Amino acid sequence: MALNVIMLGPPGAGKGTQAERFARARGIAKISTGDMLRAAVHDGTEIGLRAKTIMDRGELVSDEVMIGIVRERLNRNDARAGFILDGFPRTVAQAAALDELMKCRDPLIILDIVVPEEELVRRLSTRLICKECGHNAELGHIDVTERCVICGGELIQRSDDSGTVVLERLRVYRTATKPLVDFYRVRPTFRSVNGAQAPDRVAADLAAAIVEVGSH
């Protein structure tokens, strides 16, 4: 049975870090729409240039574009054996489209990482990512003189992690993305995890949630 996981949570909840750890531990594909978009921005593609303007304002890229990106990615061979989705879906419309894409596949497990907003603001204002590979540094524990532990690249602040953009991103999450929790909460494969803990504790709770879902 393929392990198909969605990682939900607000900006700064640690979805990327946890998804990366989880995918590595389980040997499944990590599918980050944010990483794919940032790669497109870095490469200067048409979609990348359009997306950059939107992301720099803290807004969401259109459902149509995101669904198309995910559809193509899920059709690759490495996603057939299981995957973990980070950054998708972000709207109920995207979730409904994903349900269509998942027909004839094993069920989705939905993990929601919950963190208080004041902690999210603190994390986002101190977060750094690698300019080359997009890897997230440990929130609040790295300074700009250090290098990426994955590829040795320069660590920078994301343009959408600064100033008022952080508050706009959280507002967008509340209005556009948080309804996903209500959409998925009724499913027997939905679990919430406290993300205001040490990363190792969060990872352990996520793993335990997977086991619990599988036992039902």
- Please list the active-site residues: 15, 90, 127, 158, 169
Q: What is the C-alpha separation between 190 and 27, in angstroms, rounded?
A: 22
The radius of gyration of the chain from alpha carbons, rounded to an integer in Å, stands at 16
Cβ count near 168 (within 10 Å): 14
Give residue for tokens 């921005």: 41
Cβ count near 184 (within 10 Å): 20
Return the structure tokens found at 216: 């039902």
Q: What is the C-alpha separation between 160 and 137, in angstroms, rounded?
A: 16
Mapped to the 3 state alphabet, what secondary structure does 173-210 carry?
A: HHHHHCHHHHHHHCCCCEEEEECCCCHHHHHHHHHHHH
